[in-house]
Structure 1
């Protein structure tokens, strides 16, 4: 975090609340290298934290009042600790307030006092880079420290997920918060979403002469509504029909048997097939990174995108165009990243071909009449931390 950004959020905090914050904390967005929609199926994922971050300035109060504000605009949202009951909140404030509620539920509300918070985020909203988890995790580490809860990062990830599921109303898994809290430079987080064990896996992109190119299509999505929830519901129905705890426990043979005997219709079969094969691709990607290196994982990224496009049906024409354009310009592999229905695509691109890949994407979007995308490269970065 630059000094100017720290000064900016401190200055705004003083402007809003008339005094300096107790501290400044930040947490990153994430790119999911592979493992989409596997987290709520007790499966595996391989995300990494990125340089774009949400930053919060926080100060404790000596009463029950809670005030949260954003650098974007608008007056602070005011409530109290007692009023945080887990009910849905239909505004951006659901993210920090939801975390405060979730921490209180696990640690005991009597341990909490009111606070003032200002948030600023560089993570693009609706781009599939987990802007929500960045805010949740920055808030979580700040309040955990100031309230003296000593929860541990796995518990903070669960608090962020609970806030998102209950107060925001988005039925997401645990991957985003784990990546934001456990990220490390030049590494991905290999996450077992059942045990919540998180292991750093070295990526070695720079050493291999590779970059991750992100194409933000500006097709916005909302995980609290629509297709994301229906995909999760389909997975839960499939697991119930198979008599297993989650689709992590199913095999392709199990799915075929369920289709053959009528427990699955064709759509449910395809939804479940994506999860089963995606879990296998995550494990194969980790093994390939460790045994061969980053230059060999491209086909797994390509297969992941095909599965999301055809079986899970969460891609959109803009994402497909970005993926094909990056491949045509020399990307080793490319795929949708994030929950789908818009957002971003990533490509694993040799450094010398990044310019050509960017040009190919821009031309493809212009030819199709799509909105001009935003293109950037990202590097695996550190997770949530105190900044001052």
Structure 2
């Protein structure tokens, strides 16, 4: 749906025109996985797939919400009785943001909202943060809240943590809110300091191909929370505030203090932080054509030390590397989702064919394969 169609769908549902449309992108994390909640470094970029909300304020306390992908029809809630129990399913993302803003003292009354998203759900491309950031950007304007982009990042994270129940860091919301066209966002998750890093793939004759394995994950359950708990245990045993404070030189001593599994989790975080720093340096010095080895090393670390890959992700990476990819890795929280491959633009068709054939030969489901480019962050679009 284009913006006009989204506005038309809103009008057809609610009987009046929206006050505006706000859009926020999903993201690909170029490198730096699970480092965010360890107060480390990440390097994501916004992609040209977005969540868009059309909104009109009401003069009561009723919120009516509809999405183009939900099967519940219009969901109606009374904001004056909004609680964790009344926020569920897809509505937990927009309502969670509204709940956080109201907790902060921002005056938000009733509203009508229509949501449309082109960010694949469960693909590791941060469909949830795209929704949160679109809604936060909209109400920041509609309620004249005057919050900065960094403050909106924390609004989205708090909604994710406290309402949705996913123990995520600030990576996803930062990418969605801070990105600009043609750049990645180098983010220090301890200080929230960020810096735009040029990522001009087209000028280098390159593109990033996403292979969405269609193996879905759920951050609020299972493996993600277990990995975070392992990291917290490692930091506690090593006597540091966060694994950000552990260096490669400390790993020898850490091996003697930690059980083997916890040590592997710690080693991934420590080496991944260094790979982010190295990637930023290489991009500044030699450009995107020289970062492939770092991407591939990141995947090996996630597969072997953090153990968050899966057969489909490994096959996507291995097939890409066997078909002219400069580097490849899984991206996102893991246990499914997407892999990315940095490839010459001229290799796109051949790689698509090779990945589809490899998945079919392995008896896996058909993946969704598409190219992405660094795109602008959250903004009003109509």
- Normalising by the residue count of structure 2, what TM-score does the alignment of the two structures yield? 0.97
For 2:345 and 2:227, how far apart are their aligned partners in 1?
A: 36
Q: Which residue of 2 aligns with 1:78?
A: 76
Task: Note the 1:118-157 alignment, pairs <5 A.
Answer: 118-157=114-153
Q: What residue is the counterpart of 1:60 in the other structure?
A: 57
What corresponds to 1:362 in structure 2?
356
Supply the distance in 2 between the matched residues of 1:254 and 1:281 (Cα, whole angstroms): 16
Structure 2 CA distance for aligned equivalents of residues 95 and 76 of structure 1 = 15
Partner of 2:18: 21
Unaligned runs of 5+ in 1: none
Aligned equivalent of 1:216: 212
Which structure 2 segments of 5+ residues have no match? none
* Matches of 1:145 and 1:353, distance apart in 2: 43
Once the two structures are TM-superposed, the CA of residue 112 in structure 1 deviates from its matched residue by 2.0
Q: CA deviation at 1:88?
A: 7.6
Give the stretch that moved more between structures: 158-167 or 248-257.
248-257
Structural RMSD (CA): 1.2
Q: After superposition, give the CA deviation of every residue in 1:328-351 in whole Å (9 maximum; x if it has no partner).
A: 000000000100000000000001
Q: Which residue of 2 aligns with 1:189?
A: 185
| Residue of 289, 294, 297 corresponding to 1:300 | 294
Which residue does 2:248 correspond to in 1?
252
Deviates more, 1:68-77 or 1:272-281: 68-77
Query: Residues 24 and 55 of structure 1 are in contact (CA less than 8 Å); yes or no, is this contact kept in structure 2?
Result: yes
Residue in structure 2 matched with residue 102 of structure 1 by the alignment: 100
Structure 1 residue 74, shift from structure 2 partner: 2.9
SS of 1:207's partner is helix
1:250-305 Cα shifts (integer Å, max 9, x gaps): 12343332331xx3100000001000000000000000000111111000001000
Indicate whether 1:49 and 2:43 are aligned: no
Tell whether 2:28 aligns with 1:34.
no
1:187–1:202: 8 Å Cα contact kept in structure 2? Answer: yes
Shift of 1:114: 1.4
2:274 is aligned to 280
State the shift of 1:244 in Å.
0.8
CA distance in 2, matches of 1:311, 1:258: 14
Q: What is the DSSP-based 3-state SS (H/G/I as helix, E as strand, rest coil) of the residue aligned with 1:92?
A: helix
SS of 2:241's equivalent in the other structure is: coil
1:90 to 83, 88, 91: 88
Contact 2:11 2:18 in 1 (8 A): yes
> What corresponds to 2:369 in structure 1?
375
Q: How many residue pairs were aligned?
A: 381
1:227-376 mapped onto 2 (5 Å cutoff): 227-260=223-256, 263-376=257-370
Distance (whole Å) between structure 2 residues aligned to residue 223 and residue 31 of structure 1: 16
1:34-71 CA distances to partner (integer Å, 9 max, x unpaired)? 00000000000000000111010001111111111112
Sort the Cα spacing of 1:321 and 1:229 in 2 relative to 1 into closer, same or farther, 3 A.
same
Contact kept, 8 Å, 2:217 with 2:336, in 1: the verdict is yes
Deviation at 1:239, TM superposition (A): 0.7
Aligned partner of residue 298 in structure 2, secondary structure:
helix
- C-alpha offsets along residues 122-177 of structure 1, whole Å, 9 cap, x if unaligned? 00011111000110000000011001101111111111111011111111110001
Are residues 1:178 and 2:174 paired?
yes
**Farther-moved stretch of structure 1 (56-65 vs 327-336):** 56-65
Aligned to 2:2, the other structure's residue is in SS state: helix
- On the 8 A contact 1:86/1:101 being kept in 2, the answer is no
Q: Is the 8 A contact 2:77 2:86 kept in 1?
A: no
User: Residue 50 of structure 2 aligns to a residue in which SS?
Assistant: strand
Structure 2 contact 206–342 (Cα < 8 Å) conserved:
yes
In the alignment, is the contact (CA less than 8 A) between 1:256 and 1:269 conserved in 2?
A: no
Q: Distance in 1 between matches of 2:352 and 2:181?
A: 25
